[in-house]
Amino acid sequence: MSSLSKAGMYTLGDRAVNRMGYGAMQLAGPQVFGPPKDHAGALAVLREAVAAGVNHIDTSDFYGPHVTNRIIREALGPYPKDLTIVTKVGAVRGDDASWLPALEPHQLEQAVHDNLRNLGVDVLDVVNLRLMGDIHAPAEGSIEAQFATLAALREKGLIRHLGLSNATLTQVKEAQAIAPVVCVQNQYNLVQRADDAMIDALNGMRIAYVPFFPLGGFSPLQSDALNAVAAKLGATPMQVALAWLLQRSPNILLIPGTSSVGHLRENLAAADLVLTADVRAELETI
């Protein structure tokens, strides 16, 4: 039994996954653009993750673009039966590494086919509609046309399950009226907690919540209080931040990313860390 199982499992539609997963974004080059500096190292991280029990990998064909999906295919294909690969559509990359919205029906369809081809699969396990909003914060507005496009591709058998990224609860409910939503991927961590109410609402709806930037993203979490708690527990601040998320709500799935095998092992070890009520109360004040 993998130590990841200590954190429990959760379902994405009909797929049961360990709550500690892996995000592939950092396998591309600087600014998530171009090839990795260390191709063999990228393959090694993916293989180590799966060997350690990770069965939920998050990716997108706009990472690179096309880079991370091709690395995943090279490292892990043919895929283990229990591996769930979650991808997202809704953006493309400019030649200058910019992130551009790509939410027209034909663009979403193209993105689904790009993901199928580059991952080397006939059907995508989960596809998240990535809403651009304010890049890292959602903005209200109807998503009916976009979600209906993906729902039609699901009906065709190209996608098993659908989710949303950078979405509001109103948009989740709008999407749910079109087709089942199995996960929501928004920015959330120990210090960025705008989605507290949404997490609880989704838990009641049996929908997974997958925080992006669980460790602060491009500006890593920094807090004297977090450092003090970590020192007391003999853990790293990042392990404590991940453990706090796992214990925040049972529907939270984690996808911390890294391009280093050592850092991957450190992240996965957070599944073993148990925070007492006193420690959680201390962290809540950050």
Rg (CA), the chain: 18
Contacts of 209 (CB under 8 A, 6+ apart): 183, 184, 185, 186, 188, 195, 198, 199, 202, 203, 249, 251, 252, 253
Sequence-separated (6 or more) residues with CB below 8 Å from residue 154: 160, 161, 162, 179
Determine the Cα–Cα distance for residues 64 and 21; give it in Å rounded to an integer: 20
Q: Any catalytic annotation for residue 63?
A: yes
The Cα–Cα gap between 75 and 54 comes to: 14
Q: Which of 10, 22, 63, 209 is catalytic?
A: 63
CB 59 within 8 A of CB 71: no
Residues that are catalytic: 63
